[in-house]
Chains A and B, each alone.
Chain A
Amino acid sequence: MSKSYFDETHCAIGHPKTKVMQWLLTVDHKRIGIMYAAVMFTFFFVAIFTAMAMRIELFAPGAQIMDGDTFNQAFTLHGVIMVFLFIIPGIPAVFGNIIMPLMIGAKDVSFPRLNWFTFWLYIVGCLIALSSLWTGNGFADTGWTFYAPYSLNTDTNVITTLVAAFVLGMASILTGLNFLVTIHRLRAPGMDFFKMPLFVWGIYATAWIQLLATPVVGITLILAILEKYFGIGIFDPAKGGDPVLFEHLFWIYSHPAVYLMILPAFGIMSEIIPTFSRREIFGYRTIALSSASIAGIGYLVWGHHLFTSGMSDIAKTIFSFLTFFVAIPTGIKFYDWIATMYKGKVILSSSMLWALGTIVTFAIGGLTGVTIAMVGSDIHLQDTYYSVAHFHYAILGGVVFLFFAGMHYWYPVVTGRLLNETRAKVAFWLNFVGINLLWFPMFIAGYYGMPRRYFDYLPEFEIYHQISGVGAAVILAGLVLMFYNFLSCWKKGELSGTNPWNATTLEWHLPSSPPPLENHTKVPYVDFNPYEYHHGEPVVKFDYETMKRID
């Protein structure tokens, strides 16, 4: 059998002999992607268990297992890990690395050493973030948004978290830069922008956000550090600063950041749906351009986080109006995906189930976002459980669910194995039922006036918290089962072959599975569209030795 990227690798420095050093120093995009996944999902589970602890505390009113201060640190830890360590690197760091170069027929990203450096910068950021669990006056209790002047006044160890967020932002900028150059310079000959697979479009739109928006949060975090430790008086009202300015600066990045999370996820959806409908995607250009337009409009809507912050009414109106323009391209994408199933042949594999399930959960996440984009309703719902539920439906039920869909879909590319489908489907249903039990009651609780970030609450809200608690247990069971499946099939799963799903894009036209170190044997010439099917069979076929078309 030919050697795969697990057997040999290129390293940033020298030619180390040991396996461990080969992994630590590897510049191979596929290995780096796997290492990102390993670290990110470790943190993901830390944050999940923090969330479970909070759900147990909230199961009944009163303080049971933690007091208010501990709870405040718990939701900050949960938010910081989930946002900065998990979901912002997210799909780009894992599948942008592993899959994107394969999809465009490249041997690696444009700057493999920079990619290696970025990964380790990310690790440094993670270590700094978590160091405050053991140093100073304990982990930050500010919430992941670090709002001034609270973050300036608190005694907890905010500086490490701020520095960590800055370092992680740096890693994000470099990733975006690397991907932008890769997509511009390393596409296989013949592959113009409108011949790129839609996942690459998603990564491309995301990379621009990473590159252009992240510096704003970097500056904001630096200003917050200078404010806290040198008292420069930008945000602190006692020194003539403006705390609302911090909110503006923070959301100028952090709102585009949610599109940075969702656009590559939409890309995954656009790969899975045509493959498992065995036909060309409906409205390719519309989907591609809507990603780009969401990335653009996304810069102009940050003010909708500030509808009750004392912003002027005219600004509220404008931000609300602009926000609705994000909903339109998003909606169109959904109709395009559904139309793709029309007169196709729908195969309900585990990855297709995840994709279709996400259409339901993200539709809820998106539509409830419309409610709070309306200024009047947001006055009532801002900072209640309604916004918490909206956010989790959109991010867990959108981004993370599609991340999982992608993990089921590309598992054969990465490992050369198939997953246990039955187990995968049971895990999907547990997650799908769990998310709805966990978060749907929060919409109702929020409407009735349950504020977020309360560790104790009025007895009126007990029933909603209890249903949520049950949902949390269900979803945890689903996650454990799914990850058991991922890990156990890595060695024991059935061999997949190179194209188990009859898919069309280039990552399924590799000479072996798992792929060799430098991917395709030769760089292919791309004179075809990404999703060409005829009567349910891929149109384009290659000779994998020469990468010449043989259809």
Chain B
Amino acid sequence: MLEGFNTSGTVIAEHINEALVINLWISVVLFASVVLPMVYLAWKYHESNVKNEDIENITHNTALEIVWTVVPTITLFVCFWYGYTSMVTARTMPAANESITVQVEGSKWKWRYEYAANPSGFVHKLGGAFTKPVRDENGKIVQEGTMGLSALYVPVNTNIILNMTAPIDDVIHAFFVPAFRMKEDVVPGRITKQWFNAEKVGEYDVECAEYCGTDHSYMYSRIVVLPKDEYYAWFNSSDDTPKGDYGKSGDAVLQQHGCKSCHAITTDKQLVGPTLKTRRLTKEQVLDVINNGQDQLGYAMGAMPAGMASGTDAEEIAAYVAGGMKGDQPASFAACSSCHGEDGKGQYGTSPSLVSYDVDLLRNVLKHGKKGMMGTMPAFPYVSEAEIQEVAKYLEAK
């Protein structure tokens, strides 16, 4: 059972559970009203107990037919009524001025939360991707999957309204909190709403319930319900999380923005995007840029035209660059060095380094997104300069 499933104490969970219990008993009674007579009649009138002369063709019994039409109908509409009233509880949003409104964004495959500005004008932004559990070859968990400190932090006994949406080029997700019995789709280009009021301090799992692709099964998040004073102490500060050390390290930044869903950090494995371990371009990537040019990275030098080299020259360059530019430089590299420099390290802010993804490249890819070999990497315009520096430092140190 998920954490807090039976103790969440939200008024919605209470009403929906009430509806479920009533439905359960009605179902048990209706089920029995079908199956018990069936078993009884199959036994009572089994061929071994019946002589042909005793068979009677009874085809109507008005009283009985009225009973088995009217009684189930009434019970069914009791079900409808409880379904309706519990929906009213779940769907009637509390007044905005008596609630805390949090903006929720679901995207492949992370949940992000943005709070209103606090009294000193600071805006808390939280959330991110779930770190998958690590297993050894036998499937034993070496390291539990975790949200780290990333969570939706809310105060206890307070109405929370979630204004939910997904980026316009993303897909549909659903914000599902089993313990609170609440769920609503998160639709690109729309704002959907949910609300809850948690009466118990604790941590509650969030799952994505609408199928959204590769990491649908890992699109978890967490709701942390805090005592009011703890919540406000954090909210009024500019600390990243109530516990204070969230979002500082490059690792945490990578997690928060969901980079790890698509990029391997510590291994050479190619996931959705290239590995960040060597921070080297692959041969395919280099060839792709040579053949198709590159005009999305926003360097001061402007777009790189397609076809700067071709045929074996291009192959040679690609192999050289992908190999970390070690060994003898091929003559054909001259086609590159005028912009990227003799050593291939580019010029700061003007043209990218070919040796490895440096901070400029990271910044430009994050700001502008990138179309490449492996599909499109979306832009992450909200990543701050400080975060970019942290990530670059972190990757450098790896």
Residues of A participating in the B interface, judged by any CB pair closer than 8 Å: 60, 62, 64, 68-69, 72, 141, 143, 147, 149-150, 153-155, 237-238, 242-244, 277-284, 286, 308-310, 313, 316-317, 320-321, 324, 327-328, 331-332, 334-335, 338-339, 341-348, 356, 359-360, 363-364, 367-368, 370-371, 373-380, 382-384, 447-449, 451-458, 460, 533-537
Question: Would you give the shortest CB distance from B30 to chain A, in whole angstroms?
Answer: 6
Report yes or no: B76 in contact with A324, Cβ–Cβ below 8 A: yes
Q: Does B215 contact A (CB under 8 A)?
A: yes
Q: Decide: A238 and B169 in contact? CB cutoff 8 A.
A: yes
Contact at B52–A343, with CB atoms within 8 Å?
no
Q: Is the CB of A382 within 8 A of B209?
A: yes
What are 12 A-B contacts with C-beta separation under 8 Å? A72-B211, A324-B80, A332-B68, A332-B69, A346-B41, A370-B79, A371-B20, A376-B16, A376-B83, A379-B183, A383-B210, A449-B207
> What are the residues of chain A within 8 A of B185 when measuring CB–CB?
308-310
Q: Check B23 against A338 for contact (C-beta < 8 Å).
A: no
Inter-chain contact A341/B91, CB cutoff 8 Å: no
Residues B52 and A537 in contact, CB atoms below 8 Å apart: yes
- 17 more A-B contacts (CB under 8 A) besides A343-B55, A452-B211, A458-B2? A60-B139, A62-B135, A62-B139, A64-B139, A143-B211, A308-B184, A308-B209, A320-B87, A324-B80, A364-B31, A368-B27, A373-B83, A376-B89, A378-B83, A379-B183, A449-B5, A454-B216
Return A155 CB to nearest CB of chain B, in Å. Answer: 7
Q: How many residues of B contact A (CB 8 A)?
A: 89
Say whether A328 contacts B72, CB under 8 Å: yes
Please state if A282 and B86 are interface contacts (CB–CB under 8 Å).
no
Q: Which A residues lie within 8 Å of B57 (CB)?
A: 279-280, 533-534
* Inter-subunit contact A377/B45 (CB<8 Å): no
Report whether A377 and B83 are in contact in the complex, using a CB–CB cutoff of 8 Å: yes
Residue of B nearest to A276 (CB): B47
A317 and B87 contact, CB distance less than 8 A: yes
Q: In the complex, what residue of chain B is closest to A446 when comparing beta carbons?
A: B178
A376 and B176: CB pair below 8 A? no
B84, A375: Cβ atoms under 8 Å? Answer: yes
Say yes or no: A346-B45 contact (C-beta < 8 A), given A238-B188, A451-B176: yes
**Per-residue A-contact encoding for B1-43, CB less than 8 Å = 1, 0 else:** 1100100000000011001100100110011001101100110
B77 within 8 A of A: yes
- Chain A hits for B375, CB < 8 A: 155
> Which B residues lie within 8 Å of A377 (CB)?
16, 19-20, 23, 83, 86
Contact A460 B1, beta carbon cutoff 8 Å: yes
> Counting CB contacts under 8 A, is B90 at the interface?
yes
Chain B residues near A346 (CB, 8 Å)?
A: 41-42, 45-47, 50
Closest to A312 in B: B91
- Cβ contact within 8 Å between B34 and A375: no
In the complex, B53 has a CB within 8 A of chain A:
yes
> Which residue of chain A is the closest to B207 with respect to CB atoms?
A451
Looking at A321, A338, A348, A457, the one whose CB has the most chain B CB atoms below 10 A away is A338
In the complex, residue of chain A having the shortest beta-carbon distance to the beta carbon of B36: A338
Which of B1, B82, B89, B184 lies in contact with A448, CB distance below 8 A?
A: B1
Measured between beta carbons, the chain A residues less than 8 angstroms from B388 are none
B208 within 8 A of A: yes
Asked whether B73 is an interface residue with its Cβ less than 8 Å from the other chain, the reply is yes
Q: A438 CB to closest chain B CB, in angstroms?
A: 19
CB A331 to nearest CB in B, in angstroms, measures 5
Distance in angstroms from A138 CB to nearest chain B CB is: 13
Q: B54 an interface residue at 8 Å Cβ cutoff? A: yes
Please list the 9 inter-chain residue pairs (A to B) with the smallest Cβ-Cβ separation, ordered nearest first: A374-B83, A376-B86, A449-B178, A237-B189, A375-B87, A536-B52, A454-B217, A341-B41, A383-B209
Minimum C-beta distance from A352 to chain B (A): 9
Give the docked Cα–Cα distance between A363 and B35 (Å): 8
| Interface pair A310/B23, CB less than 8 Å apart | no
